[in-house]
Amino acid sequence: MEKTEYFIAKTFANLEPLLAEELTQLGAKNCQIMSRAVAFEGDMGMMYRANYYCRTALRILWRQCKFTFANNRQFYEQIFDFPAERFLDARGTMVVHATNVDSIFKTPLFAALLAKDAICDRFRDLYDVRPSVDKDDPDVQFSLHIYKNEAQLFVDSSGESLHKRGYKVSNHPAPINEVVAAAMIQLSGWKGECDFIDPMCGGGTLLVEAAMRALNIPAGFYRRDYGFMRWKNFDSDLWKSVRKEAKIREDVPVNFYGSDINGRFLDIAETNIIKARLKDFVTLKRLDIADTSPVRTPALVMTNPPYGERLQVKDLLELYGTIGTTLKHQYAGCRAFVISSDKDALNAIGLRPSLKKTLYNGSIECRFMGYELFDGDRKEYAKNKKSAE
Ligand SMILES: C[S@@+](CC[C@H](N)C(=O)[O-])C[C@H]1O[C@@H](n2cnc3c(N)ncnc32)[C@H](O)[C@@H]1O
């Protein structure tokens, strides 16, 4: 049996429980929720699986050693003893990133430099050559977490952040992060049982993430590179077998509809959807949200309107007011979810939310709101819903 290893999966604040659920379903052991991360245990296959299948993870770090230290010398020696040659070629490239809280080091940068020196000195002792530092495209990324007198050294198995799924070949100026989009879909409870509509779809992130989810397409299906592929101990047979575990559906009995007022943005969405080979599933149309309605009900509406930060809007409150009236009058029988960083604008929607959650689109703090849309009186609707249950 393969050895059990310790990993940390990183994510955005408030997505930790979703990520822990995903990891558990994939077979991770001892999942522990931390701040913007989930710690878990598993073997190498589990590390590849987490990278390939987790929709809400940003990166997966594999812990190599954990030690206490009282001074620079002890710190240096314990990093020196770590067999970095298992991952890195003597002529390869690397980078060390560090976080540092309450330790003897004044800055994380100093700790990272000392660790880099220790790794390079070990290579020079062993092989007479040392790896070089490449901050932009290193073969191996080390990640040091220092808290007080304790250090943990990780290797970053993901490389580029996992939100870079590989289907975004054309970029919208104000996209939703793919990990946040996947989390919104997970939080809505939608699993592909009804049509999915984004009436302000921009570059199409929510549509692609929803179609991937319904068709069971792994999060990393379109991505070609992962950090672990450049390690000396990369096991390509194991990687192939992990990818073969995917049970992709060929078809689903629902449709995906995207519209936007801006034709240029629809072109971006189309390019991304074609790259994701999802053109047969998604219908795109140039429309003002006020002129949209579902083809059939119930349907799930999910959208990310402009916040007035990266995309300027003439009258944000009026736009959100239009979103509210459109949802109320044209989407009765559907559920709707809206994410925005502007609380006043969200209030202008004028519908009572059934869900409110704080999420982060990268560094932008947002509210994610859910609405049940019904015809007529709320009390009557609640009564009918209860008796139907
Ligand atoms: C924040 S962007 C959506 C980005 C998208 N989620 C993505 O990941 O690429 C908001 C979109 O709303 C569109 N929009 C603004 N006003 C609209 C309206 N009245 N009707 C439909 N779309 C509108 C904009 O053109 C823009 O593409």
Q: Each residue of 66-93: pLDDT tens digit?
A: 999 999 999 999 999 999 999 999 999 9
Same domain, 197 and 256: yes
Q: Distance, CA 269 to ligand 1 centroid (Å)?
A: 11
Q: Distance, CA 332 to ligand 1 centroid (Å)?
A: 22
- Which numbered atom of ligand 1 lies nearest the CA of 198? 6
On whether residue 168 sits in a domain, the answer given is no
Q: Distance, CA 206 to ligand 1 centroid (Å)?
A: 12
Same domain, 85 and 228: no
Same domain, 149 and 238: no
Same domain, 280 and 356: yes
Q: Distance, CA 180 to ligand 1 centroid (Å)?
A: 16
What global pTM score does this model have?
A: 0.95
Q: Each residue of 256-269: pLDDT tens digit?
A: 999 999 999 999 99
- Which numbered atom of ligand 1 lies nearest the CA of 205? 8
Q: Each residue of 180-210: pLDDT tens digit?
A: 999 999 999 999 999 999 999 999 999 999 9
Which residues, in sequence order, are CB contacts of 101 under 8 Å at separation 6+?
A: 146, 147, 148
Task: Using most ligand atoms within 8 A of CB, pick from 180, 208, 261, 266 the residue to mutate for ligand 1.
Answer: 261
Q: Distance, CA 308 to ligand 1 centroid (Å)?
A: 11
> Which pLDDT score, from 0 to 100, does residue 313 have?
80
Q: How confident is the model at residue 33 (pLDDT cuts 50, 70, 90)?
A: very high
Q: Report the domain count for the chain.
A: 2
> Which pLDDT score, from 0 to 100, does residue 303 have?
98
Q: Which amino acids bring their CB within 6 angstroms of ligand 1?
A: 172, 174-176, 199-200, 202-203, 205-206, 260-262, 265, 288-289, 304-306, 311, 319
- Which numbered atom of ligand 1 lies nearest the CA of 305? 10
Q: Each residue of 124-162: pLDDT tens digit?
A: 999 999 999 999 999 999 999 999 999 999 999 999 999
> Which pLDDT score, from 0 to 100, does residue 379 have?
67
Report the nearest-CA residue for atom 19 of ligand 1: 288
Same domain, 134 and 229: no
On whether residue 143 sits in a domain, the answer given is yes
On whether residue 265 sits in a domain, the answer given is yes
On whether residue 171 sits in a domain, the answer given is no
Same domain, 38 and 145: yes
Query: To the nearest whole percent, how much of the chain has pLDDT over 90?
Result: 93
Query: To the nearest whole percent, how much of the chain has pLDDT over 70?
Result: 97
**CATH number of the domain residue 303 falls in:** 3.40.50.150
Q: Distance, CA 126 to ligand 1 centroid (Å)?
A: 56
Residue 1: pLDDT over 60: no
- Which numbered atom of ligand 1 lies nearest the CA of 203? 9
Same domain, 149 and 210: no
Q: Distance, CA 55 to ligand 1 centroid (Å)?
A: 23
Average the pLDDT over 31-36 and give the result. Answer: 97
Residue 55: pLDDT over 80: yes
**CATH number of the domain residue 27 falls in:** 3.30.2130.30
Q: How confident is the model at residue 377 (pLDDT cuts 50, 70, 90)?
A: low
Q: Each residue of 345-363: pLDDT tens digit?
A: 999 999 999 999 999 999 9
> Which pLDDT score, from 0 to 100, does residue 389 have?
67
Same domain, 241 and 369: yes
> Which pLDDT score, from 0 to 100, does residue 314 have?
81
On whether residue 169 sits in a domain, the answer given is no
On whether residue 254 sits in a domain, the answer given is yes
Q: How confident is the model at residue 378 (pLDDT cuts 50, 70, 90)?
A: low
Task: Using most ligand atoms within 8 A of CB, pick from 165, 169, 260, 264 the residue to mutate for ligand 1.
Answer: 260
> Which pLDDT score, from 0 to 100, does residue 308 have?
78
Same domain, 381 and 238: yes
On whether residue 167 sits in a domain, the answer given is no
On whether residue 170 sits in a domain, the answer given is no
Q: Each residue of 278-292: pLDDT tens digit?
A: 999 999 999 999 999
Mean pLDDT taken over the chain: 96
Residue 101: pLDDT over 80: yes
- Which numbered atom of ligand 1 lies nearest the CA of 310? 1
Residue 57's domain comprises 5-156
Same domain, 150 and 183: no
Same domain, 200 and 335: yes
